[in-house]
Amino acid sequence: MRNAPTILHLDMDAFFASAEQASKPSLRGKAVVVGGLGPRGVVATASYEARVFGVHSAMPMAQARRLAPNAAYLVPRFGFYRSISEQVMALLRALSPLVEPLSLDEAFVDLEAGGAAWDEGSARLVGEKLRADIRAVTALTGSVGLAASKMLAKIASEQAKPDGLVVIDPGTERELLGPMSVRILPGVGPATGDHLRRAGIHTVEEIVEAGEDELVRLLGKAHGHGLYAMALAHDERPVVAERETKSVSVEDTYDVDIHDRLRVGMEVQRLADRCVRRLRGAGLSGRTIVLKVRRYDFSTLTRSETLRGPTDDPAVVREAAARLLESVDTTGGVRLLGVGVSGLADYTQEDLFAQAAGDLGELPEEEPGEVAAEKDEAPVERRWVAGHDVTHAEFGHGWVQGSGLGRVTVRFETPDSEPGRVRTFRVDDASLAVAEPLPLVAVEGGASGLRPDLVSHPHHP
């Protein structure tokens, strides 16, 4: 490990929910929950105001509504979040060529590789400036951790939340880690944590006291050795600029179990087409087709078929997924379906296949909203998604608060306005239309939204 805290971990604070609050003045300081709003939806992100009531990510949405019935419940706007993420990642890449994104709102940065920092003082300056730059460019906050390793930098950013910065000085790691739960270490999930607990091991220090041999006996050679090293604060994992995509997949969860075998087959075909769109969008193809089925009793089955070469032909993927479906019993009902492609490559070998006859398959037009139901079953109100942007010919830009019974309620406000008024319209009002999200910060000159003074950093003397 290095002898200076020059690995930075950035974690945006309650990212989706904070982006919605910044976009909607009437929600600032209020409980906001973002996620799937159907009966089987889950929470993607909860604002800090919602967390006070016990709401957290991955919680069933029905449980969140019981805990915080007065919160604002919104459907995610992933395109909007992605545009903000691109601004944040641009700031990080201005600091170093070694930026390892983990998700839209989280990344590691090797500050030493970019000459941005070389000791505790310079690293702290970079971290503080980064936080200020993120606020200036996006109107959002992020928490920064600085340490000599990835594991410790991530722990530091968690301690810094919300909207803070924590530096872990080299030499203090063991003292810091000792009293922490074993779950703080990478690779310790619920199953491993329970296994260690049953062995009387609850803290990182107790892992060290148990010794490496005992860890190997409990967890196996590879996991035991690795976990013991982490407990000693030994983490040599480098920051990797490019994380290779291993698979491309799509899935849908259905509000009501699907029992009709024909409908299940149609859903699988639709998912196969969506998956190929993502493949082609990324310039990839793949050899292994994967089908995922979660049945009425929550049992989850996966089936796969490996082709003779990589493809991005929708007909080939559809036919392979249909063959895989034949081997799955869906009699009791299906609550989730997914189609994926792995064994990725950046080329295709269409001529190898006898599976699909004729020319390359053409993709049908994508259904608006990609809702998990047949088109003719979708009520008109589905066009007006809670939290999404609209514009009205007379009242301007706003967002959907809710819809139903032939009506849609809209609050008219923008990121830089005062909290706006609420108005209700018929769902077929010709003056109301879907709109693109507005930027959180008004930018002058340049599409990137980054000013030169916001991407500078100190250089080694």
Evaluate whether 274 touches 370 at the Cβ level (below 8 Å): yes
End-to-end CA distance of the chain: 23
What whole-number distance in Å separates Cα of residue 34 and Cα of residue 51? 12
* The residue type at 259: H
For residue 320, give the H/E element and its range. Answer: helix 314-326
Long-range (24+ apart) CB contacts under 8 A made by 449-456 are 449/87, 449/137, 450/87, 450/90, 450/91, 450/94, 450/137, 454/91, 454/133, 454/136, 454/137, 455/90, 455/91, 455/94, 455/133, 456/94
What whole-number distance in Å separates Cα of residue 222 and Cα of residue 216? 8
Cis ω before 458 (30° cut-off from 0)? no
What whole-number distance in Å separates Cα of residue 455 and Cα of residue 124? 16
Say what the alpha-carbon torsion angle 34, 36, 37, 43 is, to the nearest 10 degrees: -50
Long-range (24+ apart) CB contacts under 8 A made by 354-357 are 355/307, 355/315, 355/316, 355/319, 355/320, 356/313, 356/315, 356/316, 356/319
* Chain-centre distance for alpha carbon 270: 23
What whole-number distance in Å separates Cα of residue 434 and Cα of residue 388? 8
Give the DSSP per-residue string, 347-383.
S--GGG--SS-SSPPPPPPPPGGG-SS-GGGS-GGGG
311 beta partners: 286
Q: Which of 74, 84, 9 is nearest to 44 (CA)?
A: 74
Evaluate whether 145 touches 172 at the Cβ level (below 8 Å): no
For residue 304, give the H/E element and its range. Answer: strand 300-311
Q: Tokens representing 272?
A: 């196969």
What whole-number distance in Å separates Cα of residue 410 and Cα of residue 75? 15
Evaluate whether 324 touches 291 at the Cβ level (below 8 Å): yes
Q: How many CB atoms lie within 10 A of CB 374?
A: 12
What residues are annotated to the active site? 106
